[in-house]
Amino acid sequence: MTLMKQFLGAAATLALCAGAATAEPALIYDLGGKFDKSFNEAAFGGAERWKAETGGSYKELEMQSEAQREQALRRLAETGANPVVMTGFAFGDVLNAVAPDYPNTKFAIIDMVVDQPNVRSVVFTEEQGSYLVGVMAAMASKSGTVGFIGGMDIPLIRKFGCGYAQGVVAANPAAKVIQNMTGTTPTAWNDPVKGAELANSQASQGADVIYAAAGGTGIGVLQAAADAGILSIGVDSNQNHLQPGKVLTSMLKRVDNAVYDAFMSGADLETGINVMDLAAGGVGFAMDENNAALVSADMLAAVEAAAAKIISGEIVVHDYMSDNTCPVN
Amino acid sequence: MHKLPPWADVVLIPLMSVIAAFAISALVIVYIGENPWEALKIMVDGALGSAYGWGYTLYYATNFMFTGLAVSIAFRASLFNIGGEGQAMLGGLGVAVVALAVPWPHWSLALPAAMLGAVVFGAAWAAIPAWLQARRGSHIVITTMMFNFIGAAVLNYVLVNILRPKGSMDPATARFPKGAHLPTLHDLPLIGSYFDKNTPANITLFIALAACVAVWYLMFRSRLGYAIRAFGKSESAAVYAGISPFRITMYVMLISGGLSGMMAINNVMGEAERLVLNAVEGAGFIGIAVALMGRNHPFGVFLAALLFGFLYQGGAELGLWTSIPIELRTVVQALVILFTGALDNMMRMAVAWAFGLARRRAA
């Protein structure tokens, strides 16, 4: 009897410990890879910040195959990981099918809207941040021609390009924007060689500021622009340091904040659509010692004025994804 | 070199290769500061220790059985078909076209139609390199390899421009209709209770097993199989015996392409239930290793496919429960391929030498 009691007690303690130990958040990176110096790495940065501040631990996973998307979501949910955060729209379809099976687990997906009661869909107003760097690009350009290089040709990336073009035209109505996409498949996120080729081609057409919204491909764009002696603009993470003194600024998309917030709220994660806009600090532009010399005082004043007007609602930046058209090209 | 007893050829050499690969993997894992014994335990436990693990292991193994059989039958005719990847991709397209064309009322109707789609598309993709080899002498290794890239580009174009639903950002087709859903092993009577509900292994496994038997019959019990093997051993002797090289090349490559295409029944129809861009994920290339390791015999292919299924599922578990990075999981898989495929002769020579020594002692 006592043995039984002891055994039960031990089992109960074990169960409690197991419960406490596994109720940790989890982060799944998209197939692009964790260290892409951009989107996924920003997510990793947010998770690390949470870890440093709270002393907690989290599970993370890089996948190897498509079949592992569902496997990873189910395994993490079954072991009690809560919330489970994933980066990238490619999880949308799978999450929509998996989420109803785990009503007690909270999921957060970045860059995609999944309409399930236990899912937080984090979307960013990339058009606003792109508008701001567009203003800076137009003011920094001497030739009056600026470039945009997107990764995969999807509405989301067109949204970046459209916001950028609107900002450019707002600052210099006569400016010309050359737009190119790297490809139509996910490999376009990780093709720095093609990115460099596109940057060189745009430079030869007269572009002297090029904005890359292309994940890992952007590293090639930044490199080629620096080699050609023209300016570039980074994306997602602060990429000013990649080519110090050659990167005008970076359009910040605070994926790190989205992950950090989700981890912080833990199992009490608020579900529904979570819009990370300029006012909420979800997007912005990067200033640091690497680009201080490139940004003049009136450029900074202009971009800050534009930011204030966007927040107050005086400037409305058109969202390409709302109707799949762009007012300026 | 001495002739080895069959058991050494079929069992001992592959086994030693796998052990050598694991030994080197263990060294690498120790080097990055993880415990290799723990890692092995997680892999075995995660892949074979539960109904859940088996559900995934068998799912991957089903893929590899098809591509392994495809490579092995071409090998028997001395044709090195490296195009399994592209043929399986196109097979996926065939499955998707069939599954989306009709609102299927029941899977038992959808399955034969989808199989036909997969076989026709996969075989058609192999037919062009086969014709080029047979008629024009273009080397099949080069052409099938090139056709993998062309296949990827074709699939890319079709998914992005034709089959992608409006408003979707993912280059993938819409979900297949409910009636095209294949029963998973869990849904089956009798054995269903052994398998986990949420694992992707499905009835395609039985089609793969049937394919193993059918290929065995074709290879060793049929007139065509005899012609294929004769042609593979010596083309000039085969021609002398009245076997047409053109016909054998075409037949073998059509069968091989059709088998690769059949893989799509498992991964496209059975698992994802929609066609995504990288649905094949290298299974076509794994098929080469599977065929090499299985000595181009259907039963060997079956065993080797199980081993690679174990490696894939075990690798996923390593990713979930340890901090061993994804690159290293790939290294472990690559080492097994290296040892069983490329370095096969090394083991063979060592074993043959040992056997020779033993025989001389005995004499």
Fold: same for A24-124+258-265 and A126-253+296-323: yes
Determine the residue among B170, B311, B328 to mutate to test chain A binding: the one whose Cβ has the most chain A Cβ atoms within 10 Å.
B170
The answer as to whether B285 is a domain residue is yes
The answer as to whether B286 is a domain residue is yes
Does position A3 have pLDDT exceeding 70, yes or no?
Answer: no
Chain B (58-97) residues lying within 8 Å, Cβ to Cβ, of chain A: 59-60
Average pLDDT of the residues of chain A: 88
pLDDT value of residue B2 = 57
- Give start and end residues of each alpha helix (H) in B77-203: 84-101, 107-131, 140-158
Structurally, chain B folds into a number of domains equal to 1
Asked whether B268 and B275 are in contact (CB, 8 A), the reply is yes
Q: How many degrees, rounded to 5, is the angle at CA B255 between CA B252 and CA B257?
A: 105
Cα→Cα distances A11→A16, A19, A20, Å: 9, 12, 14
Does position A229 have pLDDT exceeding 80, yes or no?
Answer: yes
Does position A286 have pLDDT exceeding 80, yes or no?
Answer: yes
How far from each other are the two terminal CA atoms of chain B, in whole angstroms? 17
Which is nearest to A236 in space by CA: A22, A20, A44?
A44
Confidence of residue A322 (pLDDT cuts 50, 70, 90): confident
pTM recorded for the entire structure = 0.81
The answer as to whether B126 is a domain residue is yes
Asked whether A228 and A210 are in contact (CB, 8 A), the reply is no
The answer as to whether B335 is a domain residue is no
Mean pLDDT, 10 residues at a time, chain B of 363 residues:
72 85 90 88 90 91 96 95 95 96 92 96 96 94 94 89 81 88 86 79 94 96 95 94 94 97 94 87 90 89 93 86 79 83 79 86 80
Pick the CATH number of A24-124+258-265 from 3.40.50.10470, 3.40.50.2300, 2.130.10.30, 3.30.1600.10: 3.40.50.2300
Confidence of residue A19 (pLDDT cuts 50, 70, 90): very low
DSSP labels for B27-75? HHHHHTT--HHHHHHHHHHHHHSSHHHHHHHHHHHHHHHHHHHHHHHHH
Comparing CB atoms, the residue among A65, A92, A184 nearest residue B171 is A184
Confidence of residue A30 (pLDDT cuts 50, 70, 90): confident
- Sequence spans of domains, chain A: 24-124+258-265, 126-253+296-323
Q: Average the pLDDT over A280-308 and give the result.
A: 93
Share of chain A above pLDDT 90, in %: 64
The answer as to whether B183 is a domain residue is yes
Q: Which fold has domain A126-253+296-323?
A: Rossmann fold (3.40.50)
Chain A contact present for B276, CB below 8 A = yes
Q: Which residues of B touch A101 (CB under 8 A)?
A: 198
Q: Do B277 and A65 touch (CB under 8 A)?
A: no
The answer as to whether B152 is a domain residue is yes
Asked whether B76 and B219 are in contact (CB, 8 A), the reply is yes
Q: Which domain holds residue B265?
A: 66-297
pLDDT value of residue B18 = 85
What are the structure tokens assigned to B318, written together? 């390593």
The answer as to whether B311 is a domain residue is no
The answer as to whether B318 is a domain residue is no
Q: Which element (helix H / strand E) includes A275?
A: strand A272-276
Chain B contact present for A154, CB below 8 A = yes
